[in-house]
Amino acid sequence: MKFKAVVTLLVGVSMLGSILSACSSSNNSNSGAAAGNGTAEATVAEAGQFPIVDEKITLRVMTGANPSVEDFDTNEFTKYFEELTNIHVEWEIVPTSTVTEKLNLALASGDLPDVIMTMNVTPEQQALYGEQGVLLPLNDYIEKYGVNTKKMFEESPLVESTITSADGNIYALPAPNECYHCSMRQKLWIYEPWLEKLNLDMPTTTEEFYEVLKAFKTQDPNGNGIADEIPFSGAPQVNQSSTLTTSVENFLMNSFTYAPFTRIYVNDEGKVDVPFNKDGWKEGLTYLNRLYSEGLMDPQALTRDAAQLVQLGENPDVPILGAASGPNQSALTQLNGSSGRWLEYVAVAPLKGPDGVQVTQYDPYQVAPGQFVITNKAKNPEAAFRFADALYDREITLRSTIGEPDVDWRWATADEIGLNGEAAVYMDMSKFGVTQNKQWSQTGIAYRPNSLRLGLVANPENPLDSILYNETKEKYEPYRVDVETVLPPINFTVDQSAEIADLSKTIYDYTNEMMARFIIGDVDINAEWEQYLATLDSMNLSRYLEIYQEAYETYKSASSK
For residues 397 and 546, membership in a common domain is answered with no
Same domain? For 92 and 111 the reply is yes
- pLDDT value at position 124? 87
Q: What is the Cα–Cα distance from 262 to 49, expressed in whole angstroms?
A: 41
Domain range for 100: 1-180+365-492
The pTM of this model reads 0.81
Q: What is the pLDDT of residue 67?
A: 86
Omega before 51 cis (within 30°)?
yes
Position 132 scores a pLDDT of: 96
pLDDT at 30 over 50: no
Tell me: do 295 and 323 sit in the same domain.
yes
User: Does the pLDDT value for residue 10 go beyond 80?
Assistant: no
Supply φ then ψ for residue 303, to 5 degrees: -130, -15
Percent of the chain with pLDDT over 90: 80
Dist CA 463 CA 467 (whole Å): 6
Lowest mean pLDDT, pick from 58-62, 179-183, 376-380: 179-183
Query: Contact at 8 Å (CB) between 501 and 6?
Result: no
Task: Render pLDDT for 191-220 as a digit per residue (tens, 0 to 9).
Answer: 999 999 999 999 999 999 999 999 999 999
pLDDT at 39: 53
| pLDDT for residue 82 | 98
Same domain, 430 and 297: no
Please give the radius of gyration of the chain, using alpha carbons only, rounded to the nearest integer.
24
List, for residues 426-454, the tens digit of each pLDDT value: 999 887 667 899 999 999 999 999 999 99
Mean pLDDT of the chain: 90
Share of the chain above pLDDT 70, in %: 91
For residue 331, give the CATH number of its domain.
3.40.190.10
Residue 133: predicted pLDDT: 97
Does one domain contain both 57 and 71?
A: yes
118: left (phi over 0), alpha (psi -120 to 50) or beta: left
Q: What local confidence, expressed as pLDDT, does residue 35 receive?
A: 37
Same domain, 193 and 313: yes
DSSP letter for 351, please.
Answer: P
- Residue 521 is assigned to a structural domain of this protein: yes
Position 357 in a domain: no
- 354, part of any domain: no
Which of 63-77, 107-121, 335-349 bottoms out in mean pLDDT, i.e. has the lowest?
335-349
What are 251-284's pLDDT values in tens digits? 999 999 999 999 999 999 999 999 999 999 999 9
Report the pLDDT value the prediction gives residue 241, as an integer from 0 to 100.
56
Query: How far lies 332's CA from each of 92, 216, 281, 430, 539, in Å?
Result: 32, 17, 25, 22, 36
pLDDT of 46: 96
Q: How confident is the model at residue 24 (pLDDT cuts 50, 70, 90)?
A: very low
Provide the pLDDT for residue 415. 96
Helix (H) / strand (E) containing 243: none
Choosing from 492, 518, 546, the residue where a domain stops is: 492
The region of weakest confidence among 21-35, 73-87, 488-502 is: 21-35
The pLDDT of residue 243 is 67
Which of 492, 519, 534 represents a domain boundary (last residue)? 492
Is pLDDT above 50 for 221?
A: yes
Average pLDDT over residues 486-510: 90
Q: How far apart, in whole angstroms, are the C-alpha atoms of residue 267 and residue 389?
A: 37
**Residues 4 and 123: beta-carbon distance below 8 Å:** yes
Q: What is the pLDDT of residue 179?
A: 92
What's the total number of domains in the chain?
A: 3
pLDDT computed for residue 7 by the predictor: 32
Segment 224-233 shows an average pLDDT of 97
Same-domain pairing of 123 and 23: yes
224 belongs to a structural domain: yes
9 shares a domain with 120: yes
**pLDDT tens digits, 396-430:** 999 999 999 999 999 999 999 999 999 999 999 88
Q: Could you say which of 348, 377, 395 is where a domain stops?
A: 348
- pLDDT: is 31 or 97 the higher one? 97
Q: At residue 3, does pLDDT exceed 80?
A: no
Question: What is the mean pLDDT of the segment spanning 283-298?
Answer: 98
Quickly list DSSP for 486-538: SPPP----HHHHHHHHHHHHHHHHHHHHHHHHHHHTSS-HHHHHHHHHHHHHH
Question: Is the residue at 411 inside a domain?
Answer: yes
Report yes or no on 359 lying in a domain: no
In this structure, of 309-323, 330-344, 355-369, the range with the lowest mean pLDDT score is 330-344
Is there a single domain that holds both residue 226 and residue 324? yes
Q: Note whether 272 and 228 are same-domain residues.
A: yes
Q: What is residue 186's predicted lDDT score, i.e. its pLDDT? A: 96
pLDDT for 558: 76
Position 240 scores a pLDDT of 56
Q: In terms of domains, do 171 and 28 share one?
A: yes
| Residue 355, in any domain of the structure | no
Q: What is the rounded CA–CA span in Å between residue 220 and residue 225?
A: 6
Confidence class of residue 36 from pLDDT cuts 50, 70 and 90?
A: very low
Measured between alpha carbons, how far is 452 from 426 in angstroms, rounded to an integer? 8
Query: Does pLDDT of 110 surpass 90?
Result: yes
> Which candidate, 123, 118, 125, places its Cα nearest to that of 99?
118
Are both 386 and 443 inside the same structural domain? yes
The reply to whether 358 falls in a domain is: no
Residue 341 to residues 199, 259, 312, 321, 415, Cα–Cα distance (Å): 20, 29, 12, 11, 32
Q: What is the pLDDT of residue 23?
A: 34
